[in-house]
């Protein structure tokens, strides 16, 4: 039985928020990347909600997933049709309560929603980077976020919170900057991709690269590889759902017809849904960013990076108090992968809580309204801030 509660909602919206930009890594001080390359200048788009307290001890950074952006909560304009991507969690009286915490969310480097990425113009050539953009890693994303924290004058984060690829950044923060993270909430994530997860990403990338419009990544002055990107998104969406959620949501229901039409249009509802998701995605996302970010996720391997292959050794660097959350029907990052992390944390005597939330909605569950996650988040954050006082 699922604990998922349909229109569950608490708190209020934060209201109008502003998209801000931070530019760093100028000519003298370029950002060094894990690949050995460097890049500059770097722009990060970011959003803040709530107020930073006088001793700067209430800052929480929220890290977005593959296709997210800095717009975490509220509205840019009161007339906007939709709020930020995690408005259900971030706001006054919500799981991450902006009356108590100062929430920061920045668009990751390599993405396409205001931060420097492959569709940015290279200062050297005066043209879009395209595939001349250097390969970036989860570590590089976190390094850029750290520069933003320095800019905001925040030495220690009360918490780093994120799901999926955002959860990988959470783990990276804890290992890379252990003294700057008081607590961490990795949700529906993994310390490294399974072959299954890499396989789906690779098929998605191949769909983009097989699109004739892709043109080795240099398409910004012509037609874009829309078909490839749409198919990549459709593949992604399958991995975010589950057998049960697809059965409940679509079953074998037909779209706008009562009988089979014996042709190759989108007849089944699930086909129509995937096509709609693909179409919606190409309006807001850059195909090259999709290639770069999925590659970064595939490369991520906390044990290799920080523990010579041992996850226990990797976590021995970490100091944060953890809340690890997985979902029963998430087969992209299954519970056993979260449990592996928890096990390694325990062996290092780290303070860790773990909950596997019963939900039928697959990997997507972490973005859906869930009373249990709200309670876990609010209680955990309160516990961490109580310990400071």
Which residues bind to other proteins, rule: CB under 8 A?
A: 3, 321, 323, 339, 342-343, 346-347, 349, 351-358, 372, 375-376, 378-380, 382-384, 386
DSSP 132-193: GSPP--HHHHHHHHHHHHHHHT--SBSEEEEETHHHHHHHHHHHH-GGGBSEEEEES--SB-
Which SS3 state, helix, strand or coil, does residue 384 take? helix
CB of 274 to other proteins, least distance (A): 31
Nearer to other proteins, 28 or 386 (CB): 386
Beta strand residue intervals within the chain, DSSP E: 20-24, 31-32, 38-39, 42-49, 59-63, 90-91, 96-97, 102-106, 159-163, 183-187, 321-327, 352-357
CB of 17 to other proteins, least distance (A): 28
CA 281, 283, 284, 289 torsion-angle sign: positive
Active site residues: 164, 330, 363
* Phi-psi group of 19: left, alpha or beta (phi > 0 → left; psi -120 to 50 → alpha; rest → beta): beta
CB of 354 to other proteins, least distance (A): 5
Cα distance between residue 310 and residue 27, in whole Å: 38
Nearer to other proteins, 42 or 311 (CB): 311
Nearer to other proteins, 131 or 348 (CB): 348
Q: b/e string for 264-276 if b means 16 or more Cβ within 10 A?
A: eeebbbbbbbbbe
Nearer to other proteins, 204 or 384 (CB): 384
CB of 344 to other proteins, least distance (A): 9
Burial class of residue 168 (count of CB atoms within 10 Å of its CB; 0-12, 13-18, 19+):
buried
Cα distance between residue 136 and residue 300, in whole Å: 11
Which SS3 state, helix, strand or coil, does residue 50 take? coil
Nearer to other proteins, 89 or 352 (CB): 352
Nearer to other proteins, 70 or 338 (CB): 338
CB of 1 to other proteins, least distance (A): 11
CA distances to 122, 129, 134, 154, 297 from 218, rounded to whole Å, are 13, 8, 14, 38, 23
Largest CA distance in the chain: 68
Residues contacting residue 302 through CB under 8 Å, at least 6 positions apart: 171, 172, 175, 191, 192, 311, 314
Cα distance between residue 154 and residue 177, in whole Å: 13
Tokens of 348: 């290092």
Nearer to other proteins, 64 or 182 (CB): 182
């Amino acid at each position: 039985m699922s604990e998922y509660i349909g229109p569950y909602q608490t708190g209020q919206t934060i209201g109008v928020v502003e998209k801000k930009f931070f530019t760093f890594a100028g000519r003298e001080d370029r950002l060094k990347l894990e690949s050995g390359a460097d890049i500059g200048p770097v722009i990060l788009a970011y959003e803040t909600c709530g107020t930073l307290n006088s001793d700067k001890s209430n800052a929480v950074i929220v890290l977005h997933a593959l296709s997210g952006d800095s717009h975490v909560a509220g509205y840019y304009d009161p007339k906007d049709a939709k709020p930020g991507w995690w408005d259900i969690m971030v706001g006054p009286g919500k799981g991450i309560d902006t009356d108590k915490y100062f929430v920061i969310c920045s668009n990751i480097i390599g993405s396409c929603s205001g931060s420097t990425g492959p569709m940015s113009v290279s200062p050297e050539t005066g043209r879009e980077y395209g595939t001349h953009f250097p390969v970036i890693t989860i570590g590089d994303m976190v390094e850029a976020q750290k520069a933003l924290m320095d800019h905001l004058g925040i030495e220690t984060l009360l918490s780093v919170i994120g799901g999926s690829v955002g959860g990988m950044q959470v783990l990276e923060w804890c290992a890379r900057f252990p003294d700057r993270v008081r607590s961490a909430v990795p949700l529906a994530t993994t310390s490294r991709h399974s072959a299954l997860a890499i396989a789906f990403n690779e098929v998605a990338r191949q769909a983009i690269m097989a699109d004739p419009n892709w043109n080795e990544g240099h398409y910004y002055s012509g037609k874009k590889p829309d078909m490839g990107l749409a198919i990549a998104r459709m593949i992604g969406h399958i991995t975010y759902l589950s057998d049960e959620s697809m059965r409940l949501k679509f079953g074998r229901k037909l779209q706008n017809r009562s009988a089979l039409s014996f042709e190759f249009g989108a007849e089944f509802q699930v086909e129509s849904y995937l096509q709609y998701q693909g179409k919606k995605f190409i309006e807001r996302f850059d195909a090259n960013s999709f290639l770069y970010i999925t590659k970064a996720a595939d490369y991520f391997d906390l044990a290799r990076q920080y523990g010579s292959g041992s996850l226990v050794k990797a976590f021995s660097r970490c100091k944060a108090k953890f809340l690890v959350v997985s979902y029963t029907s998430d087969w992209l990052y299954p519970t056993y992968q979260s449990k592996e992390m928890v096990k390694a944390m325990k062996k290092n005597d780290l303070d860790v809580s773990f909950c596997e939330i019963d939900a039928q909605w697959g990997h997507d569950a972490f973005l859906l309204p869930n009373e249990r996650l709200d309670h876990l988040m609010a209680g955990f954050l309160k516990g961490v801030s109580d310990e400071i006082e």
